Structure 1
Amino acid sequence: MKEMLKHKRASAFLLLALALVLVMSGCSSSTGQLKTTDDGRIVVDFWYALGGNLGEAVEAVVAGFNESQDEVYVNAVYQGSYEESLTQLRQVVGTSEAPALVQVFEVGTKYMIESGYIEPMQTFIDRDNFDVSQFEENILAYYQVDGKLYSMPFNTSNPIMFFNKDMFREAGLDPENPPRTYNEVREAAKVIKEHFGGRVDGFSVISHGWFTEQMIANQGGLYVDNDNGRSGEPTQALINQEEGQRWFQWLADLREDGTLGNYGRDWDDHRAAFLAQTVAMYLDSTASTSGNVNNADFEVGTAFLPVPDGVEPHGVVVGGASLWMMADIPEEVQEAAWEFIKYAAQPDVQAQWAASTGYFPITKAAHNESVLQEVYEQYPQFLTAVEQLQNTKLTPATQGALIGVFPEARERVVNAIESVHNGDDPLEALNRANEEINRELENYRRANQ
């Protein structure tokens, strides 16, 4: 995510860089980075970072664009996970092997802006008077800095709670009135545990820093100072303030109750546990909605993120990724890439994308497209994400933190969460993570002075 890391600890994902050889099939000529197909179409190399069914959906968007016109050919290349893709980009950026477009996850925003290798979307927006009011404000705001849009939102998610409606019914809980507060979740988890004789975990959350970011923001708290890094370079982490303390203490309370499932760091392990009915409630990305609903042998329920009792929910920070254009490429390639970006943002394309993946459409009008209306009617679970994001209050808290060491910060938070699972004092673990993030912030500032 950011080659700004010159200090001693290299995050695990930096070690996963793949030595990939990019093969351009169907290309007959190239001059520098300007490539053309046999029939003269300008080639746009596009690196994406979604695998499995999500990757197939990306390929479908690309295929739709390639079939819609005869001047541009987008060559989509899967580069592994977000971390792996960004590691690979760092190795080739500024060279002829770099792509024209790359999909980067949201916490790579600051690195990409400061890399010097990207062309802001605002360049094309201003030139073409492109209407950005068509996009969801809460999504757009994440990728805007000082009023300038640097990348185009592509796949957008937010976190929700999934729960097993059948288990709720069997245990005497109301599946149409899911828990909304920490205490309500805690009590429901106890009921589940008792009813199923301890065979089912009441609640779980993956050991990932994203949910700590979300739970703090949902309470209106900031992750770092200076308005979450939006009004100036952040100097202090704030995750150990009362918002973070409530979240970590709640996890410790659930563990003490014996209702907190621990399925590690792997997203698929948590999803598998839910589908196997080993856990009754868990937090996940909205991007898993389609998979959960279609693969479960029970009725899947969805609910907003819970908040501490007595706290008004502020909403969520968008997750997912956006599309970044490289600056050091021929103008013709930039223009071709811009055409694809505009195509991917069209309401009908966004509606089909959302219907097939569970990601949130970035374009407001997409919700009115028949393909998405049919999904909402058949699977109301999809509407939870829509309502939660549209109810979000746009503040520095929900706009999301802008820091240059986000992957490192997440790793520190993951370690702290795992400490809680191991029975350590939650506030001590949180304070330790906060101090570690402060050191990362200081190292980053020194490296970029």
Structure 2
Amino acid sequence: MFRPRASTFAPDQEKESIMRNRLLGAFAGIVSAFAASVAAAAPIEIQFWHPTLGPIDDALKQQIDSFNNAQTAYKVVASGRGTYDETFNAAIAGFRANKSPHLLVVIGQGTQSMLLSGAVYPVQDLLAAEGHKIDWDNYIQPVLNYYRTKDMKLLSLPFSVSTPILWYNKDGFAKAGLTRPPATWDEMGEYLTKLRAAGFECGYTSGWQQWVHVDNYSTIHDLPIATLHNGLDGLNAVFTYNKTDVVKNIARLQSWVADGRYTYSGRQGSSATPAFASGRCAMMTHSSAVFSSLQASAKFAFEAAPLPYEAGTTPHNSLIGGGALWVLKGHKPEEYKGVAAFLAHLASPDQQAKWHKDTGYMPITKAAYEKVKAEGYYDKYPQQEVAITQVQRGTPTLNTMTVRLGNANQYVAALEEEMEAVWANKKTAQQAMDDAVRRGNEILRRFERQRGN
């Protein structure tokens, strides 16, 4: 006869087992609920891609940490992606694969490519949509102008802002009997003769020669670089600098190369800075952002002054360079709230003042500039104020606002090659600028065709 199997647990043991299982289930529920609450409370991450900036990376980290530590809703996660070009290419590839960052640093020359990429959420639109009431009049206008559309909408937030200025060896000037920096290019030529006579092997060198001697020479003298307001009004612009005083400027430099007053130090700035900091060259035109590097490496007293201009002219503002912060499309509304909050934080007077002093880059707001000035910083470091006053010189015009042309790396490389032919005395200044314009216009037409026009 069948009999039910007896329980292997005594009654008390069965009760204990049931209670234990209930407790474990309850505990698991508590853990699950706690994990869910932690996940819900986790900050929203904002991905920020930037080129690897070397010593500047630490200053950037401090800016990001300041924002992350000031609130708990968002966390900015920075990622260095190599050079400017590598960073840009990675971001555009990411955008096409729906894996782009929220924020991207792009060099100024890439503005036209960014504008036409279809990937951009204009900064001015973002900040307005998220309720940030920005007093744009409190910003240094020529700095913003570089990244504005022709109807004055701001596309991106200027970030690592600099402009070329004149650096000079104050001790060397005293040795040559010079008491102030040269104001004009002709006066600079006279100074160089005296400095060479005083024992300088190299009177003058320059970093970023195209930026200094074509772009900024044109801007300071209110000369067009290209038609359609330097490309601001359309993709079918053509270069015109071969028909302006740029040719005279290049010819003058050619004569200085011939007699030893000017020494060519390469297309960018990596060789110019040590040539000046070592005491070999008495003067250098270079980015205002090399201040920290010169502080660390120069063994003599150095000063800064505005770029020279042509006698008989009234100088205008110089043109800025460096990188800007772009916001990319394709992200969630709650994430854009964090992006806007971070940008507003970066633009605050305290953060702008700190960034300026830590990096040598210019502040982008008048409030930050006035704060630093009131603290007496420029009394100690007058070199740091030169760029700020230079970019605000005169009244901006459509010639001095920006350069908005595509395939910038390619046309700049062509122009650099032609300038090198002048320094090697293989071409006249006029022939080289004519050839640079012809080659540059071919590059612009390729860009125009690529964009479907």
Structure-2 residue corresponding to 1:378: 380
Give deviations 1:405-442, integer Å, cap 9, x for gaps. 22222111211221122112221111110111111111
* 1:156 aligns with one of 157, 161, 170: 161
Q: Distance in 2 between matches of 1:288 and 1:242?
A: 30
Q: Shift of residue 190 of structure 1?
A: 1.3
Deviation per residue, 1:28-72 (Å, 9 max, x gap): xxxxxxxx9896011111011252222221111111111111111
Supply the AA of the counterpart residue of 2:191. A
Whole-angstrom CA distance in 2 between matches of 1:38 and 1:141: 41
Aligned residue identity for 2:136: V
- Measured against aligned partners, the alpha-carbon deviations of 1:126-173 in whole angstroms (never above 9, x if no partner) come to 332432222111111111102211111122111101000001111122
Mapping 1:133-212, distance limit 5 Å: 133-145=137-149, 146-174=151-179, 177-196=180-199, 199-211=200-212, 212=214
Matched residue, 2:350: 348
Q: SS at the partner of 1:397?
A: coil
Q: Out of 106, 131, 135, which is 2:135 matched to?
A: 131
User: Residue deviations 1:283-303, cap 9 Å, x none?
Assistant: 111111232134321111111
SS at match of 2:241: coil
**Distance in 1, Cα, partners of 2:437 & 2:174:** 41
SS at match of 1:316: coil
Report how far residue 233 of structure 1 moved.
2.8
Residue 301 of structure 1 is matched in structure 2 by 303
- SS of the residue aligned with 2:270? helix
Match of 1:418 in 2: 420
Identity of aligned residues (%): 27
Q: Is the 8 A contact 1:208 1:410 kept in 2?
A: no
- 1:108: Cα distance to partner? 1.1
- SS of 2:271's equivalent in the other structure is helix
SS at match of 1:144: coil
The 5-angstrom pairing of residues 271-282 of structure 1 reads 271-282=273-284
Q: Map 1:277-292; keep pairs closer than 5 Å.
A: 277-292=279-294
- 1:321-354 CA-partner distances (Å, limit 9, x unpaired): 2111111112222221111111000011000000
TM-score (norm 2): 0.86
State how far apart, in whole Å, the 1-side matches of 2:52 and 2:183 are: 31
SS in 2 for 1:189: helix
1:100 corresponds to 2:105: no
Preserved CA contact (<8 Å) 2:239 2:441: yes
**Would you say the 8 A contact 1:200–1:277 is kept in 2?**
no
Aligned mates of 1:193, 1:242 — CA distance in 2: 30
Deviation at 1:311, TM superposition (A): 2.4
Q: How does 1:390-405 map to 2 (within 5 A)?
A: 390-405=392-407
Whether contact under 8 Å (1:154, 1:345) holds in the other structure is no
Quick one: structure 1 residues 110 and 242, their matched pair in 2 at CA, closer, same or farther if it must change by over 3 Å? same
Q: CA deviation at 1:214?
A: 0.7
Gaps of 5+ in 2: 1-37
**Contact in 1 for aligned 2:207/2:287 (Cα 8 Å):** no
CA deviation after TM superposition for structure 1 residue 392, in Å: 4.0
Matches of 1:229 and 1:391 in 2, distance apart?
23
Any idea what SS the aligned residue of 1:284 has?
Answer: strand
Matched, 1:231 2:233: yes
Q: Mind listing any 5+ residue stretches in structure 1 that lack a counterpart?
A: 1-35
Query: What's the offset of the Cα at 1:92?
Result: 2.2
User: Does the CA contact (< 8 Å) of 1:351 and 1:371 recur in 2?
Assistant: no
Contact 1:157 1:320 in 2 (8 A): yes
Contact kept? 2:202, 2:281, Cα under 8 Å: yes
Measured in 2, the distance between the counterparts of 1:37 and 1:99 equals 22
- Of residues 295-304 and 347-356 in structure 1, the stretch that sits farther from structure 2 once superposed is 295-304
Relative to the length of structure 1, the TM-score reads 0.87
- Cα distance, 1:309 vs structure 2: 2.4
Contact 1:182 1:307 in 2 (8 A): yes
Deviation at residue 272 of structure 1 after TM alignment? 0.9
Rg: which structure is higher? Answer: 2
Question: Over residues 179-218 of structure 1, what are the superposed CA-to-partner deviations in whole Å (9 max), with x where a residue is unaligned?
Answer: 111111111111111220xx52111113543222111111
Amino acid at match of 1:190: T
Give the Cα separation in 2 of the matches to 1:233 and 1:266: 27
Partner SS for 1:327: coil
Q: Whole-Å Cα distance in 2 between the matches of residues 436 and 370 of structure 1? A: 45
Indicate the larger mover: 238-247 or 218-227: 238-247
Residues 79 and 318 from structure 1, CA distance in 2 versus in 1: closer, same or farther, beyond 3 angstroms?
same
Within the candidate set 103, 120, 123, 2:122 is matched to: 120
Deviation at 1:122, TM superposition (A): 2.4
**Structure 2 matches for 1:438-449, cutoff 5 A?**
438-448=441-451, 449=453
Q: Distance in 1 between matches of 2:396 and 2:52?
A: 28
In structure 2, C-alpha distance between the alignment counterparts of 1:418 and 1:347, rounded to whole Å: 42
Q: Which stretch of structure 1 is more off in the superposition, 162-171 or 90-99? A: 90-99
**Matching residue's letter, 2:447:** Y
- Among 240, 243, 266, the residue aligned to 1:241: 243
In the other structure, the counterpart of 2:71 is 69
Q: Secondary structure at the match of 1:369?
A: helix
CA contact (8 A) 1:37 1:43 kept: no
